[in-house]
Chains A and B, each alone.
Chain A
Amino acid sequence: MTAAELLSVAAFHEGKHAQAFPSFGSERMGAPVMSFCRVDDRPVRLREPIVEPDAIVIQDATLLHAVPVFEGLDVAGFVLLNTRKPRDTLGCNDLVAKLPAGHFRVVAANDIAEKHLGRPLANAALLGGLLALTELVSMGSLSVAIRARFAGKVGDQNVAAAAEAYAHVRESTAC
């Protein structure tokens, strides 16, 4: 299940309406892949791809300068980038400056995932970070969604990873 799908389930548990869907590009191993999620208080009827996102989560930082990842981002939009590197070494300082303070954040989600799950499966951690950034849905709802998808210990581990990423993004404002 993609992060977008997990997010949509979390929104659903919170009584919101949501829709998640994959990109329409060629999906092969090694090709850039996108997935989208819309969350609203009203039922989501729109079927067009998201061209003006309110938030972007970049799971693979190597795409940063390979594809136009930030295209269409709202002027007050949010960016969460999965990387160990400090924010100001990424070559995105122009965008960081344009966006409101604290809207462009990095988190070492792979490392957090490695720590809790033993594997670099960063979805839950990235979602935790996203929620800290945007307050789109609550961590409680995300936990419910995670546990619905991953049973037992694996569910707990994913929730822990999400929580750690959430805390990291919540606390530090500088990066």
Chain B
Amino acid sequence: MSDEKEQRIKFYQTGTLTVGNRLLDPRLRTVQASVDRSNAITSGHRACQGCGEALGARYVLDAAMRATGGNLIAVNATGCLEVFTTPYPESAWQLPWLHSLFGNAAAVASGVAAAMRVKGKAIRVLAQGGDGGTCDIGLGCLSGMFERNDDVLYVCYDNEAYMNTGVQRSSATPAFATTATTPAVGSDPGSEWGQGKSVPLIAMAHGIPYVATATVADLHDLETKVERAMSLHGARYLHVHVPCPLGWGSASDDTIKVARLAIETGLFPVFEAQAGEVTSRRHIRRRVPVEDYLRLQRRFAHLFPHGGRDDKRIDLIQAIADRNVERFGLLEEAT
């Protein structure tokens, strides 16, 4: 095997363990590819089959553990992740872990970070929660943490609804998606057409050192971002897109595929920002229409009635994707 620093043969990500294990230079392999990974969340937890959040959390935490040499404390908001990992008397967590309430993970993490600072300990802090706990009920505490620039990496696992409580709409639920509180009935089926709420952009507006979006469809990218985040100090925010087969009505073995389509349509822009300015984006390799993404999820089934197509609504979703592509420069410029 070549001992050059860079991987000479470029591979498309077709499967984490495939490329990461056999064909990549060892130094470029993912944390997940290593038998020495910390397994900060170990097996035996109660997540659903195909759970994107379980996958995302495993990726994030093992990468963070490696980046910090295991000197890490995790603070978790109430939600799926907390519930399926800690059914008393068992716990899937192999790192120090604290769950307090639904809306205060950012503040609790700030408290842990303050304690470490006062005691002169080089232990890092990671806070995590779902879109409900982050974008809605936890937004006040999150903003406070950002404003104070507390030394915490906050990770949001965005599955676009309150899944733990039975799939209710959150401010992260995309327009027209069916949830238990936005059923596909009546003249305006599914989630309301609102303003949308981009917490990554809100984070950028606070000017914090590092903001990034990532997805379970790109493990390398996700791990790199966690590593980069942990190399910095101050308030950092990572927003990870994690499909939920149960809540989205997608096949449990389609989780990564659905996540990839979200990138490739432009609906989930993947980028990095520092001090309020976008510094990099993941370009869309092969642009696909939003329809390809929507068809895989029963929460959008009402947009395809009787083999037809709800042009008006799908076009509106397409417009969101188009706007993202333009705003974040997601298409590589033609050379």
A and B touch in the complex (CB under 8 A): no
